[in-house]
Structure 1
Amino acid sequence: MLECCGGKVKVRHWLTLLTGFMESLCCTGIAYGWASLVYVLKLDGYFAEKCVNVHCPRNGTWYCSGQDEQLSWVMLVALISNNIVRFPIGYIFDSFGTTVTRLLAMKMYQRNERFLKNLASVCCLVCVQVGNLFDTHRSTVITVYTGAFDSSAVVFLIIKLLYERGVSLYSSFLFLFLCSTIHLLRTIFLMPRRHIPYPVPENYTYGQWQLGFEYYTSMKHCNQQISGYFRVDFSFNSVYFQTVPSFWSCMMTQLFLWHLLWFAIVQFCHNIFVATVNPMLSRLADSDQSLVSHYTNAYAFTQLCGMLCAPLNGLIMDRHKGRPLTRREADLSSSSLALLLTSFKCFLFCVCFSCPILPLQYVSFILQVINSAFLYGGHQAFLCIAFPMCHFGKLSGLVMSLSTVTLLLQFPVLHLIQHQLHGDPLFVNVALTLLSLLTCVHPIHIYLHCRNQRRAKREGNRGG
């Protein structure tokens, strides 16, 4: 009977993983397919009034920096609104659990489709905990989801190709809206009501057939520095109590502050590229729309490969599993190499897109996709490793919300490119390349932190 029950549990784990992967692939990161969507928006005439008296005599096509600037700002506003709500969403997730968070996001989406990216953020946030079901491959599962997040940008490529064959933009978005019913079914049957604990107790189950439930409580000590985590499971008559650091103490650690800076810089480089890739291609292709369309399609198809690259990052972070170290020590030690590789690829990516050579942008596309897959996967996995899971939603949301500051900096940067540099972002890209070198400090700090911990542990063993 137990074997049968255990088999059903394993099947549900895999169903949760696979359906979550499809959910992430189809909705979470579609906004990063902006290069494909903006091509359609231009053909539909959005902000076309900004193109008055701007004409390219070489090939008779229209080029307009004003339209490009307005559409780039639309992308930035969407990114900023998404990041601002991440901390409240993370707090709701940590406090009320998976079901409440997902239902709230779906309600927002059904009332107004501009919340599409916020729904995507919630899906990405709550899917991270699925990695807890696969202990030795936890970081790999997390990076598989973030790889699907990157590859979901291909959705806007599909919309672009359908538009070129006569399917209206309204029909495509209506179909995306109707697909939200799938999120509801997955919430009911294949996700926990609260959270998936780590490590997972034997025969743990969830969904409609959930046998127990979890809840969290905080114990206020006189110094307000310790919080408690309770797990009560009535099915197995067991109660777990574990003390963990408070949210505030986690937030003030050097590990978190350096991670915040690392993430903000790399994300800033990526968002500048995504917001300016279409005008950059137009400029390098002399406004040849067929050539711009070709490179836009190439970029979108390259983004589809994100789900193939991201698991490599997870394998790097899981490589120390099984060694004579605690789970946290093994994972934290492995994360330094993964984050350092991300920083190095970000530097190479910035170098490539700084060069005003059109064929070289193929390399930029590849590096951007690989680096983006490593960025979000490494970010989510590191927070799961370095800090208690009961604070994951808040810490992840706080990083995204505070990184809004760098997004706000993109408004003057874009204004500088369009009006002071006459559409040529070379000097801005060189500055970004130099800035990207600062991200190497975070993985080096993690390495030194782990080395000091191991040294202190050895000295403690000798003293004992």
Structure 2
Amino acid sequence: MTMLDTLSIFTVLLEVLLQGGVIYGWPSIQFVLIQEGYFASNCSFLPGNGTMTPCSSDESTFNLVFTLAIAAQTISSVPFGYILDKFGTWTSRSIACFLNTCGWTLLAVMTPQTAGLLFPAMIFIATSGLHFQVSNVQLSDLTTDHKSGYLFLLAGAYDSAVVVFFLIKVAYDSGTHLTSVFQFMACISVFPWLRTFLLMPKNKIIVDKDGSVGRYGILDVLHVAKRTQITSSVETGSPNTDRSNPGIELLSIDETQNEENELSLKSCLKSPLFWTNLIFLSIGSLRLVFFFGSYISWVSRIHPSDRIDFFANLFGYILIAAGLTAPINGVICDVVEKYSGDSNISQNTRKLRGLFVTMFITGSIEIILNVTVLTNSVYGSLVTMLFFRSFLFGSLSNFLAKNFPLIHFGQLYGITVFAAGLFSLLQYALFLSIEDSNLFSVVNYLLLAVCILSFVHPVLIFVKAYTSSKLLI
């Protein structure tokens, strides 16, 4: 890899860690906002006295903020995916960067009296964070034989972004003013802008037949400037212009030449594996979002109020390790794919066998998460949730990137996450239903049953991987 490739990949992890799945650190920031008195107009407790005793009206409002942010995040994946595929990386990321900066700025100017700003702020931060991850998937082409490892590492960085809200809570507990922390994060939001135009391709990463990577990032910026200068010279009839020099082409590489033989988007959408993957993600996402949204309420029911702060901090500590756990599944996938069967097995079959193992592990961990919640094992559920969160979305990116043309990745990812987002809206209804504590177990038993049904996806992959050498797409 070149220095530019290395720098791009390194800054990817930093960007996604700071601005990716920040919204999933919601329990940490919810604790802080409750202490500050946000949405407390209908509650009887006094904010700022160190007690963590939210009333039901403020609990449901906070949950609504989280639910809408997650829903907007997933729904936005469709237009963002379309813009990424059709108009290129710079265009789609510019929109994401703008939303991200606006989100942190709104938090910086927000007060308990203007708590309504929390709704658009979290929506902007959540939607931009997801697109930062999606737009960086294409850089997996820079990693050659370690593509799965990179994709799962990217997913791990996205998961570990929960550390942002956790560190905000730590800073708040140490006496730092909440507004000052948000202002600092608003300044940090400049970083994705710089990465967009200096370390990301204008359109898409282009890999030639010999494995070499085409021009991108700062090289693209310099090429545009050089092309503008040459065009100006041609128009003015400058005698110094050498049109025969192949190093100063006025036209960029025609990407359509590499796409003529690719599978169409319509054919991808007809794949049974695409739809079972969509169902698998939708159910897993609902299970995960419900856990995040109900975590504080659940812990409040089974532990004394003076222990809630401890469990809110524990939640943050646990999820910090997501960046370490996510690559595990990617390494497993690469190893199985490399050493699966003899040399007569096709590459597509090897891919399916590797993906089967990752999907089976992810689904099994999902079942264990349901069991730990039903048995009121907070510690067990946090550890299990850590692995499930990092494996779930890493498996999604890995599955789509390896089984379908990369030129359709943005739209396929967008459609999948969009459907999962609509399904996860059920989380708010489930949360309202568990205000009656007797229904909490009923809801979780229902989720357990649905999660078991989602195993149709790894089963279908297994059947295809071990009964046919052709890839089902």
Residues 1:80 and 2:54 aligned together: no
CA gap of 1:122–1:47, structure 2 versus 1, over 3 A, is same
Residues 1:93 and 2:79 aligned together: no
Shift of 1:186: 1.1
Residues 1:310 and 2:326 aligned together: yes
Q: What 5-or-longer segments of structure 1 have no aligned partner?
A: 1-8, 55-59, 214-231, 458-464
Matches for 1:214-229 after TM superposition, within 5 Å: none
Shift of 1:203: 5.1
Measured against aligned partners, the alpha-carbon deviations of 1:134-185 in whole angstroms (never above 9, x if no partner) come to 1210011011010011111011111001111222222222211111211121
Which of 369-378 and 312-321 deviates more?
312-321
TM-score normalised by length of structure 1 = 0.84
Please give the alpha-carbon distance, in whole angstroms, between the structure 1 residues aligned to 2:385 and 2:208. 34
Corresponding residue SS for 2:61? helix
CA gap of 1:237–1:286, structure 2 versus 1, over 3 A, is closer
CA gap of 1:280–1:198, structure 2 versus 1, over 3 A, is farther
Shift of 1:241: 5.1
Contact 2:77 2:415 in 1 (8 A): yes
* 1:29 aligned residue: 21
Please give the alpha-carbon distance, in whole angstroms, between the structure 2 residues aligned to 1:248 and 1:430. 37
* 2:262 aligned residue: 244
* 2:7 aligned residue: 15
Contact 1:247 1:391 in 2 (8 A): yes
CA gap of 1:63–1:152, structure 2 versus 1, over 3 A, is closer
Contact 1:332 1:385 in 2 (8 A): no
* 1:339 aligned residue: 359
* 2:434 aligned residue: 417
Q: AA paired with 1:127?
A: N
**CA RMSD of the aligned region, Å?**
2.7
* 1:180 aligned residue: 189
Contact 2:73 2:421 in 1 (8 A): no
Please give the alpha-carbon distance, in whole angstroms, between the structure 2 residues aligned to 1:168 and 1:77. 27
Matches for 1:233-382 after TM superposition, within 5 Å: 240=258, 242-288=260-306, 291-319=307-335, 320-321=337-338, 324=343, 325-356=345-376, 360-382=377-399
* 1:222 aligned residue: none
Contact 2:153 2:326 in 1 (8 A): yes
Corresponding residue SS for 2:206? coil
Shift of 1:65: 2.4
Paired residues in the alignment total 420
Residues 1:121 and 2:112 aligned together: no
Residues 1:49 and 2:49 aligned together: no
Q: AA paired with 1:149?
A: Y
Contact 1:233 1:239 in 2 (8 A): no
Q: What 5-or-longer segments of structure 2 have no aligned partner?
A: 105-120, 225-249
- Runs of 4 or more, structure 1, over 6 Å off, are 235-238
Measured against aligned partners, the alpha-carbon deviations of 1:415-449 in whole angstroms (never above 9, x if no partner) come to 2111xx24761211121112111121101101212
Corresponding residue SS for 1:345? helix
Please give the alpha-carbon distance, in whole angstroms, between the structure 1 residues aligned to 2:258 and 2:282. 36
Measured against aligned partners, the alpha-carbon deviations of 1:214-245 in whole angstroms (never above 9, x if no partner) come to xxxxxxxxxxxxxxxxxx99689995454122
Please give the alpha-carbon distance, in whole angstroms, between the structure 2 residues aligned to 1:240 and 1:293. 55
Shift of 1:52: 3.8
* 2:94 aligned residue: 103
TM-score normalised by length of structure 2 = 0.83
CA gap of 1:279–1:37, structure 2 versus 1, over 3 A, is same
CA gap of 1:206–1:438, structure 2 versus 1, over 3 A, is same
- Amino-acid identity (%): 27
